[in-house]
A and B are shown apart, each in its own frame.
Chain A
Amino acid sequence: MNRLSVFLLLALGFGACKKDQPTEPQTPIEFRKPAHFPEPVYDLPARNPVNSEVFVLGRRLFFDPILSLDGSISCGDCHQQAAAFAHPEHPLSHGIHDQFGTRNSPALFNLAWQPHFFWDGGVHDLDLFAISPIENPVEMGEKLPNVLEKLRRHAEYPGVFAKAYGDTAVTTERFLKSLSQFMLLMVSDNSPYDRHLTGDAAALTDTEKAGLEIFRAKCASCHTEPLLTDFSFRNNGFPSGIDFGRERITLNPDDKYKFKVPSLRNVAKSAPYMHNGRIATLEAVLDHYATTVKDGPTLDPLLRQNGSLGIPLSDDEKAKLLAFLNALTDEEFLNDERFR
């Protein structure tokens, strides 16, 4: 190999590395609280000061299959930006050796406002979240100490850690918090619905506005505005089989079949739906609430009113609701180059 080709290879190597690209994405690496959102629960300035090098480290880790046992799966495989960081086409996601999990990969955004994680709320701190998919035998199948050891021996990672944190030490805290920082900066706040809330009278069509009114009357008690979830755990009458949901965490029979209310932001992009991904379309989700809610001891009382199950919805109301749900798509977020 001659000198020139070595030089070219080196240049290619650096070119492929995002941190060294001269054209960093134009949106600054910063956390901003949207004016119409409440205060976040994760205190970034105190716990995880935003720094573009930490963000870049977290991004690299998020998309790096080195986190998995056999180098085949990254976080980004089951959390894809075009689907608001959910897993399109996959009711359940597959991990190493094509093993399937038991729950639908949730969309990722506005995590700084989430008080707990997973469909059952088993993890209360985003910083502690990543350990679970890394160590789940049917997801990444690795052990956290082993991941850290692979990073310590890696040709580039110690340098990336040094850029982010001042020295090359690859610690549990740095690893977990850089991943968190990347995810915490995923703020989705610029859908037509948001622009409507912040005063743009032309942001929503008349049909979408009518859908918003139906939504406020029939859905918003759980999918609370503006985050479009109240983060509570509820049994929505969707058959769950042997997955007992929140009961696994609290061991309280009153929590059987309860799952976290998901945010509806970007919902048109994050199919399939429900904790087990068993519903493929939004139309079918509305049909479930209108006609197939299954009764049970822990069914949410809001789905059993005046002696009847579910939420009464006419075809006209469903059409307007669908229009509104489609107005929750935040194209700016789905195309934000910082998250690639």
Chain B
Amino acid sequence: MKKFALLFGAALSLVVVSCHKHDDEKDWADGDLGTLEMEFDSRFGDDDFALGTEYTTAHGETVKISKLQYFISNIVLHNEDGTEYVIPQNDSYFLIKEDKAGSNLLKISNIPAGNYDHVEFTVGVDSLRNTMDVSQRTGALDVGGDAAGMYWSWNSGYIFFKIEGESPSAPFDSTLNGNFWWYHIGGFGGMTSKTINNIRTLELELPQEAGHDHGTAIEIRKDGDPHLHLFTDVSKIFGGTTAVKIAENPIVMFAPYSVEISKNFADVFKIDHIHQ
């Protein structure tokens, strides 16, 4: 069955690739709508990622991660023809939790048919939504539901990216009887006074090297079922633009250093490939 599916997939992509060669020929009609599934696949460098597994950071610190969750929002698909499709805002908030199966699969529908070659999204929650009425905070944003633990109630605002764990590099906590570190990254810039802003918007391109069964654009078609496979490389939280060392910064929450950590989001996320 699996072999058959592979063969079938390969055959299908051959068809797609061959269609793609004829630049003038559109194999869709104006007004067609399609869907896209975006998968955020956690990795640690070249390894698959799992909570509770020991990894070594770029700085030689060993870490075991017990919690990983983050918001992805405000997704925009950029078409090859220069136009863009903005996912309706109310449908554009996703909270990915490593320990919640399926939360890393973002299903987007009603996308105008076409070829999209890069994707834009925000890691976190935009400042406007951070200031909206509670009636506009449902689903992934429900502070009494899914978003519990991803919200600072004493300093109104969502936590955008939360990662916690243990490491011998963290100081020993006698109350908790262990060496723990916590990175809770948030801060939308402040309501009335300007303060830290960790809203990071990324634009990721599809890999453009000639892939065998992978295209170089997301091909949204009426009957298509494209699946965009993204990597969330957790190792880059420590070893990205900013060298983040647990020994130096074991606890980072609402503090200036969080801005240095959020600079690494651009290194954490990348598109690996597309299945059409």
Interface residues of A (CB under 8 A from B): 47, 115-116, 118, 121-125, 127-128, 131-132, 134-136, 143-145, 147-148, 171-173, 175-177, 246, 248-252, 255
With A122-B156, A131-B153, A132-B153 as known contacts, state yes or no: A251 contacts B195, CB within 8 Å.
yes
Contact of A123 among B137, B142, B153, B190 (CB under 8 A): B153
Q: Assess whether B194 is in contact with A127, with CB atoms less than 8 Å apart.
A: no
Q: Which residues of B contact A (CB under 8 A)?
A: 131, 133-135, 137-138, 142-145, 148, 151, 153-156, 190-196, 254-256
A251-B256, A255-B193 given as contacts; is B153 within 8 A of A128 (CB)?
yes
Sort A-B residue pairs by CB-CB distance and give the 9 closest, nearest first: A172-B144, A131-B153, A132-B153, A144-B144, A122-B155, A124-B191, A250-B193, A127-B134, A250-B195
- Closest beta carbon of chain B to A207's beta carbon, Å: 39
The answer to whether residues A251 and B134 also contact, given A118-B154, A122-B155, A172-B142 and a CB cut-off of 8 A, is no
Smallest CB separation, B191 vs chain A (Å): 4
- Greatest chain A CB density within 10 A among B133, B137, B144, B145 is at B144
- Smallest beta-carbon distance A3→chain B, Å: 41
Q: Which residues of B contact A176 (CB under 8 A)?
A: 134, 144
Contact (A124, B192) CB under 8 Å given A145-B148, A148-B144, A172-B144:
yes
Smallest CB separation, B25 vs chain A (Å): 50
A132–B154 CB distance below 8 A = yes
Complex-state Cα separation, A131 to B131, whole angstroms: 15
Contact A135/B153 with A127-B134, A250-B190 known, Cβ cut-off 8 Å: yes
Q: How far is the CA of A141 from the CA of B148 in the complex (A)?
A: 14
Q: What is the bound-complex CA distance between A299 and B196, given in angstroms?
A: 24
Query: Is the pair A173, B192 in contact by a Cβ cutoff of 8 Å?
Result: no
By a CB distance below 8 angstroms, the chain A residues around B133 are: 47, 125, 127
Tell me if A131 and B192 are in contact (CB < 8 A). no
Residues of B within 8 A of A132 (CB): 153-154
A contact residues around B143 at 8 Å (CB)? 128, 131, 144, 172
Identity of the chain B residue whose Cβ is nearest the Cβ of A180 in the assembled complex? B134
Q: Is the CB of A123 within 8 A of B134?
A: no
User: Which residues on the A side are within 8 Å of B144 (C-beta)?
Assistant: 131, 144-145, 147-148, 171-172, 175-176
Minimum C-beta distance from A180 to chain B (A): 9
A127 to chain B minimum Cβ distance, whole angstroms, is 5
How far, in Å, is B153 (CB) from chain A's closest CB?
4
CA–CA, A116 to B191, complex, Å?
Answer: 10
Chain A nearest CB, measured from B187 CB (Å)? 9
Bound Cα distance from A246 to B155, whole angstroms: 11
Distance in Å: Cβ of B175 to nearest Cβ of chain A = 13
Residues of A within 8 A of B156 (CB): 122-125, 128
What chain B residues lie within 8 Å of A128 (beta carbons)? Answer: 134, 143, 153, 156
CB distance from B146 to the nearest CB of A (A): 9
CA distance A124 to B133 in the complex (A): 11
Of chain B, the residue at the smallest CB distance from A251 is B195
From A123, A172, A176, A250, name the one whose CB has the most chain B CB atoms within 10 angstroms. Answer: A172
Q: Tell me the smallest distance from the CB of B186 to a CB of chain A, in Å.
A: 12
